[in-house]
Amino acid sequence: LAVEVPIRDCLQYCLSCQGFKPPRAHHCQSCRRCVFSMDHHCPWINTCVGHRNLKAFFLFTNYVPMACFHSIVVHWEVLRLFLLRWHKESLHAAALSIISIQALLMIVAWLVSSIIFVLVGMLWWEMLGSVTRNQSIIEENILSKATARCTALGIATFRYPYDLGTWRNWFEVLGHRWILWLLPTPRWDNLCWSPLADGAGAFDLSAQHIAQKAQKLNGRPLVPVLRSFRGNSSDWLYLSWCTLFCRF
């Protein structure tokens, strides 16, 4: 006999927003709202990366390293002349050749472009994996905990319900019109219900997350309160010392 479970029991309730969250939605403390398919809160764009702007953010992580690489190649000329003169003449003569505002600015631009190229390039690599697997950073964390939980309980491995395959994942994130993949067009489709893999349920991820929270809550030890916390400087110093001491 099949028993129909109420939808309210399959969804997570957000205490801050005072409402139920659809699957893949998470509350952002910075934005003070729930974000569908939330990946992370980015301080550089001052908002969350989620369903509607994931494509634009992914393209941003593509175009920034490309622009930085172009800047590295262009500004490499002054460094090449510096090294060439150092090799043929001397370090003093090479240093004199770059003592100008234009040359110094080109060197600074080359250094800044190199640093940004590496940092944003690493972020691009992370986002590339997220788009290919159609899962956010938060969902990656949930899956890693699900694997450990299933192994500890001896149950079947949890299957991620939104992995549609590489190409379908790309179409799902970047849009179904490949000619617009390079343009930061917004996404307005499937705002609350993402397409599911074959045999997956709409509340599989939510149920797994609820089970993880329940397991974490039941496993918390009861700790007695030794002293009241008033929030003054001495309490903060005491708390910092206890935190540091407990690490060892």
| The one catalytic residue among 14, 31, 42, 150 | 42
Which backbone phi and psi does 187 adopt, to 5 degrees? -110, 125
Distance CA 209, CA 200 (A): 15
**Residue 114 and residue 98: Cα distance in Å, rounded?**
19
How does DSSP assign 113-166, residue by residue?
HHHHHHHHHHHHHHHHHHHHHT--HHHHHHHHHHHHHHHHHT-PPPPPTT---H
The answer to whether the Cα torsion of 73, 77, 82, 87 is positive or negative is positive
Phi, psi dihedral angles at 174 (to 5 degrees): -90, -10
42 is catalytic: yes
Q: Encoding tokens for residue 180?
A: 């617009």
Angle of CA points 40, 140, 137, to nearest 5°: 15
Among 134, 4, 112, smallest CA distance to 58 is for 134
Q: Measure the CA–CA gap between 120 and 64, rounded to whole angstroms.
A: 7
Active site residues: 42
